[in-house]
Amino acid sequence: MNIFKSIIGVSALAGSVLLAGSVWAETEPDAAIQYRKALMGTVGGNMKASALIIKGQVEHKDALAAHARGIAAAATLAPAAFKQDTHGKGSEKTTSNANIWKDWDKFSAGLKALETEATKLADLAASGDMEAAGKQLGAVGKTCKGCHDANRDK
Give residue-wise pLDDT tens across range 65-79: 999 999 999 999 999
DSSP run (H or E) holding 69: helix 64-83
Q: Whole-number mean pLDDT of the chain?
A: 89
pLDDT band at 135, cuts 50/70/90? very high
pTM: 0.82
- Determine the average pLDDT of the residues in 70-94: 97
Instruction: Say yes or no to pLDDT of 1 above 90.
Output: no
pLDDT at position 154 is 84
- Determine the average pLDDT of the residues in 121-142: 97
CA dihedral 67, 72, 77, 78 (to 10 degrees): 100
- Determine the average pLDDT of the residues in 80-86: 97
CA dihedral 124, 129, 133, 135 (to 10 degrees): -130
How far is CA 45 from each of CA 27, 50, 74, 151, rounded to the nearest angstrom? 25, 9, 11, 20
CB neighbour burial string for 31-69, b if at least 16 within 10 angstroms, e if fewer? ebbebbbebbebbeebbebbbebbeeeeeeeebbbbbbb
Percent of the chain with pLDDT over 70: 84
Fold classification of 2-16+27-151 (topology level): Four Helix Bundle (Hemerythrin (Met), subunit A) (1.20.120)
Out of 17-21, 39-43, 52-56, which region has the weakest mean confidence (pLDDT)?
A: 17-21
How far is CA 28 from each of CA 33, 34, 43, rounded to the nearest angstrom? 9, 10, 23
**CA pair distance 5, 91, nearest whole angstrom:** 34
